[in-house]
Structure 1
Amino acid sequence: MEMRDDDGRIRTGTVWTATAHAVTAVIGSGVLALPWSVAQMGWIFGPIALAVFALITYYTSVLLSDCYRSPDPVLGKRNYTYMGAVKALLGGRQVFVCGLVQYVMLWGAVVGYTITSATSMMSIQRTNCFHEKGNDPRCGELSGNKFLLIFGVIEVLLSQFPNLEKITMLSVMAAIMSFAYSLIALLLSIVKFASQPEFRGSLTGAKIGTNGISSSTKVWNASQALGNIAFAYTYALLLIEIQDTLKSPPSENKTMKKASMYGLGATTVFYVSLGLMGYAAFGNDVPGNILTAFREPFWLIDAANLAVIIHLIGAYQVYSQPIFGFYEKWLSSRWPSAGFLHNLYTLKIPFIANSFRLEFTLSKLFLRTAFVLITTLVAMMFPFFNAILGLIGAIAFWPLTVHFPVRMYISQANIKRGSSKWLILQSLSMVSLLVSLIAAVGSIADIVQHLKHAKLFHITL
């Protein structure tokens, strides 16, 4: 018999399921852009940036883990969401700011995932075309709208799962896929480097000058690279929701700290390995998506792109379930007796064990479907949204990953103003704010460039 927690809920999460959720949340297709990001900063500052962002993310995740319960991190009242923790420990306008930034970030991510999945589907079609027809120019004339719709239909079906805890297997599969395509990209880069064993690139990255780029472009690209790396370590905004799936004992914060260490440790190894090896293989000519640099073996590249698609199918749900939970809780409290919101229907899933039933309300069926449809439509209308996502990631890094965790921890631990620990935490917050501002400027410059060439309802590779 399963034991109920102090709030009456049954939780089954462990350090390993939490690690899977963490890996799924952290490792996104943005990992494939890390060699380009390293190329903008070179052999000195590129590795330093990867290491610093990893350390900051891990440190603030440890602080945030202690904020799941308050005022005591082990015996206090549960905060079920990130915004709930902010409300309990900070209150006031901080809650509104946090909610706005968090849910815009989450929704922006799922729009970006929709676009990236479609481009991976297009990449599979293009790679096979080049393999069969050689350098036929028609292979590059592909439309991504049908792939956007296919991805949207898949997410409509998966969105009916009730919450994050119920998609653990999907999250585990997504985590495995993220390692798969990262590993394939890494192996292809190693083979490329081995075929001409010389370290390419330079100490300071992309060159300025006759055959290089202008000094202003160099600055914008380096700033955007910081934003890419910051977005690649997006994790804090989902940590509390992941921690809420954990059973106890041991205490949730203890388990979550282990999961963060395992998840962030594994992802950092991949990030550093792929970022540096991709740069070593191609130097300053490395493309924005490392997989697009290869055409053969076509079957392996297809496998990598398929892994990207499967991973993003799961990551979409990890990011959208907190949004569903937020507005569904608000609607339920506003209309506590509405049948549309509360009447539960059960659907047996064919070809699966009889014990598996999908339970849903009409509000979940219609509103979650509408959410996916609107997200897909935005992805179709603004195929350059990934550039906007870089800006969202740059802006969100400071408040969600550093500012709120630091402020909440100071309140939770009663750290005295002016003490040495208080000064260290505030210094970390200020430096992170500066990095976010710099990255945001670079992302805005990139968006301006995209606006000059992009077309509505026309997604390209």
Structure 2
Amino acid sequence: MVSASSPPSKEVNSDGKWTENGPIRNAKWWYSTFHTVTAMIGAGVLSLPYAMAYLGWGPGTMLLLLSWCLTLNTMWQMIQLHECVPGTRFDRYIDLGRHAFGPKLGPWIVLPQQLIVQVGCDIVYMVTGGQCLKKFMEIACTNCTQIKQSYWILIFGGLHFFLSQLPNFNSVAAVSLAAAIMSLCYSTISWVACLARGPIENVSYAYKKTTSTDLMFRVFNAFGEISFAFAGHAVALEIQATIPSTPEKPSKVSMWKGALGAYFVNAICYFPVALIGYWTFGQAVEDNILKSLEKPAWLIASANLMVFVHVVGSYQVYAMPVFDLIERMMIKRMNFQPGLTLRLVARTSYVAFTLLAGVTFPFFGDLLGFFGGFGFAPTAYFLPSIMWLIIKKPRRFSINWFINWVGIFIGVSIMLASTIGGFRNIIADASTYSFYT
């Protein structure tokens, strides 16, 4: 039986070993479910009620539903394009970009967007992990001396100096599974706690009180917060690359089954948190729904600890493709030898960079909006559709052609609006923030 894998070529794996056929392809279909859940459901779900506070019931619900449908379609496209050339597997987003846009233009279109998503996610998860660990300790130990948020982010980052030495995707499967379970648990806790609490006194569903200009930029930022919540596409091909493939059962069958499972979990997490969280707090909701919830204390502490466990796994899922890219570059251009020294230098440097950025810019909601627009909208909303049009060439004005162009238009609009809004809000919030406190 001949595997539908890439033509033999010497490649270095994330475990530092030279192989003939690239990634180790022995993952089961359910691996793709919890890897995708871990990649997609994370910090973004906690900010959805906050995005609703700026968008309102109608536009917020519509944008959330539209994003779920559009990104499910583009996820399907990515999975189908993984083996769109018989006998070849596009194991990385950049490989598919080269095929669609050409060997010179492809990397310049795809790689920056993918890196923005992966590095941006890891920076946001540094902030989220530190915030949730701080909140957990404040609730669990009310008599303890409170320490600054920056120190909690440093503790979270310190953990990843060790976890980053795990060699490849399959080696973080247990961490990813735990993270996926945690995401379902804390999302459920969030909306159940909101439902049990009921609407706060004098709850208001009017738009947040601010100037017209500020409201416009905050609405733009809310677009990015929603797009940040649909983030799994940036690592979809890397996840699919670990699944075995034969002519009788190509990898797209198992990957699509896993993706459907992930999107089902996504729906039962996102929609209740967004709608019930907004119903409970209205315009008074915080940029992280767990900040708004105070009681019961033990339940909120547990939810924060679950978020912490989840973002530990999420960080690694997004970091693995970056580790692979950095190590390949260091081997080819700096003559590093595969092995422990390479991993220590490359991965420790990357973790240190994301840690420094997270400590410097701990603006949770603004970071979500900025990275959501600048990186997530292209990789999840419209780049897959553009590549589909180029590679598959659907008949002009057909339903398939029309759906793709609508998705491209919506994705580009979200990207422009949320990038502007998130960047402006980071500048505005930074003017009142004391750095490294």
- Same fold, judged at TM 0.5 (above): yes
Does the 8 Å contact 1:200/1:279 carry over to 2?
A: no
Cα distance 1:279–1:388, how it changes in 2: closer, same or farther (>3 A)?
Answer: closer
1:118 to 113, 125, 130: 130
How far does residue 46 in structure 1 lie from its aligned partner after superposition?
A: 1.5
2-structure distance, mates of 1:29, 1:419: 37
The reply on whether 1:76 has 2:87 as its aligned counterpart is yes
Q: Which moved more, 1:141-150 or 1:219-228?
A: 141-150
Q: Which residue of 2 aligns with 1:238?
A: 235
> Within 2, Cα distance between the matches of 1:371 and 1:120?
22
After superposition, residues 136-155 of structure 1 pair within 5 angstroms as: 142-155=147-160
| Amino acid in structure 1 at the alignment position of 2:407 | L
Is the counterpart of residue 188 in structure 1 residue 189 in structure 2?
no
Residue equivalent to 2:18: none
Give the CA deviation at 1:380: 2.1
Instruction: Give 1:90's match in structure 2, choosing from 101, 119, 125.
Output: 101
Matching residue's letter, 2:172:
I
Give the equivalent residue in structure 1 for 2:41.
27
Matching of residue 51 in structure 1 with residue 65 in structure 2: yes
- Aligned-residue sequence identity (percent) comes to 28
CA distance in 1, matches of 2:203, 2:28: 43
* Conserved? CA contact 1:387–1:446, under 8 Å: yes
Report the counterpart of residue 292 of structure 1 in structure 2.
291
Q: Is the 8 A contact 1:223 1:439 kept in 2?
A: yes
CA RMSD of aligned residues (A): 2.5
Matches within 5 A, 1:11-26: 11-26=25-40
* Distance 1:291-1:270 versus aligned 2 partners, 3 A rule: same
- Correspondence 1:177 to 2:156: no
Conserved 8 A contact 1:43-1:201: no
Residue 127 of structure 1 aligns to a residue whose secondary structure is helix
Of residues 366, 371, 375, the one that matches 1:387 is 366
What is the CA-CA distance between 1:96 and the residue it aligns to?
A: 1.3
Equivalent pair of 2:132/2:307 in contact (CA under 8 Å): yes
* Alignment equivalent of 1:66, drawn from 67, 80, 83: 80
- The equivalent of 1:341 in structure 2 is 337
Write the distance in 1 (CA, Å) between the matches of 2:175 and 2:408.
Answer: 35
Distance across 2 between alignment mates of 1:445 and 1:145: 23
Structure 1 partner of 2:277: 278
Q: Residue type of the partner of 1:442? A: G
Who is 1:261 aligned against? 260
Task: Give 1:414 deviation, angstroms.
Answer: 3.1
Quick check: 1:174–1:314 contact (8 Å CA) kept in 2?
Answer: yes
Runs of 5+ unmatched residues, structure 2:
7-20
Which residue number corresponds to residue 218 of structure 1? 215
In structure 2, what is the equivalent of residue 370 of structure 1?
349
What residue in structure 1 maps to residue 311 of structure 2? 312
Inter-partner Cα distance in structure 1 for 2:366 and 2:323: 25
Letter in 2 for 1:244: A
Instruction: Provide the C-alpha distance between the structure 1 equivalents of 2:28 and 2:159, rounded to a whole number of angstroms.
Output: 28
Structure 1 residues 381 and 222: CA distance shift in structure 2, 3 A: closer
Which amino acid is the alignment partner of residue 52 of structure 1? L
Take 1:52 and 1:155, find their aligned partners in 2: how far apart are those partners? 35
C-alpha contact 1:70 1:89 (8 A) present in aligned 2 = no
2:432 is aligned with 1:431: no
Segments of structure 1 that go 5 or more residues without pairing to the other structure are: 134-138, 345-360
> Are the aligned partners of 2:139 and 2:297 in contact in 1 as well (CA < 8 Å)?
yes
Distance 1:382 1:6, change over 3 A: closer
**Matched residue, 1:100:** 112
Report the counterpart of residue 350 of structure 1 in structure 2: none
1:79-110 per-residue CA deviation (whole Å, 9 max, x = no partner) reads 11011111122223232121112112211211
Taking the aligned partners of 2:105 and 2:434, their CA distance within structure 1 comes to 38
Look up the equivalent residue of 1:366 and give its one-letter code: V
Contact 1:89 1:411 in 2 (8 A): yes
TM-score when scaled to structure 1?
0.84
Are 1:379 and 1:385, in contact at CA under 8 Å, matched by a contact in 2?
A: no
Residues 326 and 417 (structure 1), Cα distance of their counterparts in 2 relative to 1, 3 Å cut: farther
Separation in 1 of the partners of 2:172 and 2:273? 29
Q: 1:191 to 1:68 in 2, by over 3 A?
A: same
Q: 2 CA distance for matches of 1:198 and 1:375?
A: 40
| Matches of 2:210 and 2:332, distance apart in 1 | 56
**Residues 172/328 of structure 1: CA separation in 2 closer, same or farther (3 Å cut):** same
Residues 1:321 and 2:326 are matched in the alignment: no
DSSP-derived class of the 1:23 partner: helix
Tell me the equivalent position of 2:12: none
> Are residues 427 and 29 of structure 1, via their aligned partners in 2, closer, same or farther at CA, if it must alter by over 3 Å?
closer
Query: Match for residue 300 of structure 2?
Result: 301
Cα deviation, residue 436, structure 1: 1.8
Distance verdict in 2 for CA 1:427–1:281, change over 3 Å: closer
1:440 pairs, out of 398, 416, 419, with 419
Q: Which residue of 2 aligns with 1:349?
A: none
Deviations 1:156-177 (A, max 9, x none): 1111111112211111011011
| d(CA) in 2 for partners of 1:162, 1:405 | 29
The letter for the 2-side match of 1:51 is L
Cα separation, partners in 2 of 1:10 and 1:108, compared to 1, 3 Å:
closer
Conserved in 1, the CA contact under 8 Å of 2:285 and 2:292?
yes
Task: Provide closer, same or farther for how the CA distance between residues 309 and 197 of structure 1 changes in structure 2, counting only shifts above 3 A.
Answer: closer
Give the superposition deviation at 1:22: 0.5
Q: Which protein is bigger by CA-based radius of gyration? A: 1
- The TM-score normalised by the length of structure 2 is 0.89
How far 1:416 moved relative to its partner?
A: 4.5
- Rounded to whole Å, the distance in 2 between the matches of 1:197 and 1:282 is 6
- 1:395 Cα deviation (Å)? 1.6
- How far apart are 1:392 and its partner, in Å? 2.0
CA contact (8 A) 1:384 1:454 kept: no
Amino acid at match of 1:179: L
Report the CA distance between 1:330 and its aligned residue: 2.5
